[in-house]
Amino acid sequence: MSTYVEEISFLDEPAIKAGNSELEIIIIPGWGSNLISIVHKGSNTELLRVPTSTKEYLNNPVLFGTPILFPPNRIDRGKFSFNERTYQFEINELDKQNHIHGFVHTRKWEVVSIEVNDQTVKVVTEFDSSKHDDVMAQFPHHFMIRMNYILNDNLFAKKAEIINKSNEPLPLGFGYHTSFLFPEETSFLKLPVKKRWKLNDRFLPTGELEDIEYKDELSEGMNLYGLELDDVFLSSPNASGLQTAQIMNQSTGIEINYTVDQSFKHWVVYNKDGRSGFLCPEPYTWVTNAPNLKVNEELTGIQRIEPDDMKVLRTWIVISHKS
């Protein structure tokens, strides 16, 4: 298989383009190591929501590509306690007085390595919190996140390694704000889920789980046209602990299978108004505002990384085309 990788400029930002005969990807280290584009080459179809200008991207960076969320989603007034330490994050969602989406998707990452052989392309990037005083001030742990992007045939895999370099346990919440193009009239989402988290008017879970009125339809493949979603769902993994969100586009014949490992216990599904042509299935290891919920940690998904330890999280995107 013909594989390749090259350094390019994307909207005046240094970027890495990699590909093979099936797929081509673009990663922008300076934009939070954002995988900004996936193109299916056989049909010449872009799969992700890609900005047309730097201004457009910076106006709302979580809605383009696949931003890395650490921690994901909202924290009530940016404050929580864990392991006898109280954390105060910046309030960056002013209208709701929450912190939202963490520290790493808007900051520069470094390229660690690029490997290419006949079958596989692998790009590794890294975020080191000790190089960011503003992050350390809010989250006083020396941690590193190493992202491994692996392209092989029609499979694109991501392996996230979160490393605790500090001398006390680190609270772990991690997710991706994956922004797929999704023409609602011809597209369907299939996502088996158990329950939906009930949210208050600040989009924070109350701690209660509720039934989903369209649960069966969603588990079989559902057209979302006109259905406005910013909902938080409890996963329904298969026997091996994995879960797959499936997107089917009848107009292009493209099918995307987005599979996550057993650490991802929740999905947020966001589509603005159900008429904007994009869909964000967002896998999270912890539910929104998890540290503040009076619910057991097994359900909320809070994990900890002990000093000098590492947590590995894996996701896989497989793209097929039915002409």
Over residues 204-217, the pLDDT tens digits come to: 999 999 999 999 99
Across 207-232, average pLDDT = 97
Across 275-299, average pLDDT = 97
**Model pLDDT for residues 6-48, shown as the tens digit of each residue:** 999 999 999 999 999 999 999 999 999 999 999 999 999 999 9
CB 281, CB 193: distance < 8 Å: no
pTM of the model: 0.96
CB 228, CB 273: distance < 8 Å: yes
Would you please indicate which residues are annotated as catalytic (active-site) residues?
A: 177, 282
In the three-class reduction of DSSP (H, G, I as helix; E, B as strand; rest coil), residue 54 is classed as helix
Cβ-based neighbours of 47, under 8 Å, separated by 6 or more: 38, 39, 40, 180, 181, 254, 256, 319
**Model pLDDT for residues 137-179, shown as the tens digit of each residue:** 999 999 999 999 999 999 999 999 999 999 999 999 999 999 9
